[in-house]
Amino acid sequence: MFRRAFATASRQSLRVGLIPADGIGHEVIPAARDALLALGSSIPKPQFVDLLAGFDLFTRTGEALPEETVQALTNDCDCALFGAVSSPSQKVAGYTSPIVALRKKLDLYANIRPVSSVSEIPGQPPKVDLMVVRENTECLYVKQETMTTGEHGKEARATRLITERASRRIGKMAFEMALLRPKKQVTIIHKSNVLSVTDGLFRETVRGVPKLPEVAGKYDSVTIAEQIVDSAVYRLFREPEIFDVMVAPNLYGDILSDAAAALVGSLGLVPSVNAGDKFVMGEPVHGSAPDIAGKNIANPIAAIRSAALMLRHLGYPDGADRIDKAVDEVLRGDPLALTPDLGGKGTTKAVTDAILKLI
């Protein structure tokens, strides 16, 4: 998928932070860990560091993201896998999402979410094959909200932050991803027809990336397209084949990638990585699913594929290929052996074991 490798060639071991967080994270992250272990000598020997974060932790301790976790990731880990975090729909005093905080603290400015279907016959191109590259640190997710009382009662306001710096580097990431894909197209997602200042800055900055002196000529083979965000959602369902790499501000990218998961059957299939220039953290796109937590029916595939994406980003494509091929074969097998989100009757453990056997 992509190989934005860090300096890993001489590494004898791979220290992986494991943060299950909430709900089914405690079931799918062990599956991803076991997939890494199954690779044997294809990657440096994995060493795992168990770390804490999440809403459940907050309810017990008053702290959603301990400083010890941040320090361990910064000083002791080469990469990480994050499970899923519960997000209360109502404001909880003192609580803020640990995954949002980690993205900012570790400067993981890109959330890269490939969405691909599995062809019935190996070697055939998939019907759906796109990638959402989502800016990960700004937009409304800066969480600068205020509540005041005005003439008509309560008035809630939120600050939306779009900067040239963040837009430029997410644009570069999108073009880098496009270079590694056959279609080589970047579609800029925006709403600058209404939000002419914020989305206007995002659009113009990303469009200007190929003209930057430091990348002169590098992206000449990449085609640039644009879509207004609401039109993009419509066309995503009607004609997903027109998209290759979609680059978007934080909120739009979050919505688009979750919507795109419907095209391949389940959020339980869609992986992602949170990537910066010095660190990468795999994270399945799905949530904590408290209604099925502990029932051994959560789909482990998104977490396992996130481990593969993490390996690609670190520069270990062979190990990533082995994981992805094993997952593809399981998905081509007996549909009833899959987890309930895909219409099957399989368990988390059974699907994981089937993948490990093929790895």
**Which candidate in 191, 252, 316, 341 is catalytic?**
191
Please say if 22 is a catalytic residue: no
Annotated active-site residue 230? The verdict is yes
Domains identified in the chain and CATH numbers: 1-108+276-359 (3.40.718.10), 110-266 (3.40.718.10)
Q: Annotated catalytic residue: which of 129, 254, 328, 341?
A: 254
From 34, 258, 321, 353, the catalytic residue: 258
Q: pTM higher than 0.75 for the full model?
A: yes
DSSP state of 139: B
Task: Report in angstroms the alpha-carbon separations of 256 from 96, 120, 240, 331, 342.
Answer: 23, 25, 12, 24, 20
Tens-binned pLDDT, residue by residue, of the chain (359 aa): 444 445 454 568 999 999 999 999 999 999 999 999 999 999 999 999 999 999 999 999 999 999 999 999 999 999 999 999 998 878 888 999 999 999 999 999 999 999 999 988 888 889 999 999 999 999 998 889 999 998 899 999 999 999 999 999 999 999 999 999 999 999 999 999 999 999 999 999 999 999 999 999 999 999 999 999 999 999 999 999 999 999 999 999 999 988 999 999 999 999 999 999 999 999 999 999 999 999 999 999 999 999 999 999 999 999 999 999 999 999 999 999 999 999 999 999 999 999 999 99
The angle that helices 164-179 and 198-208 make with each other, rounded to 10 degrees, is: 40
CA 63 vs. chain centroid, Å, equals 24
Beta strands in the chain (DSSP E): 13-21, 45-50, 79-84, 110-116, 129-135, 145-150, 153-158, 185-190, 223-228, 245-248, 273-275, 280-282
Closest CA to 253 of 171, 181, 183, 159: 171
Strand partners, 133: 112, 247
Backbone φ and ψ of 65, nearest 5°: -135, 90
Q: Name, in order, each residue with C-beta under 8 angstroms of 62's C-beta and a sequence gap of 6 or more.
A: 94
Nearest C-alpha neighbor of 1 from the set 316, 352, 330, 353: 316
Asked whether 90 and 58 are in contact (CB, 8 A), the reply is no
Residues in the chain, how many? 359
Type of residue at 103? R
Please report the pLDDT score of residue 3 as a whole number: 42
Looking at residue 7, what is its pLDDT? 47
Structure tokens at 290: 């408290």
Question: Catalytic residue at 191?
Answer: yes
Please give the pLDDT value at position 10.
Answer: 54
Looking at 230, 277, 318, 334, which residue is catalytic?
230
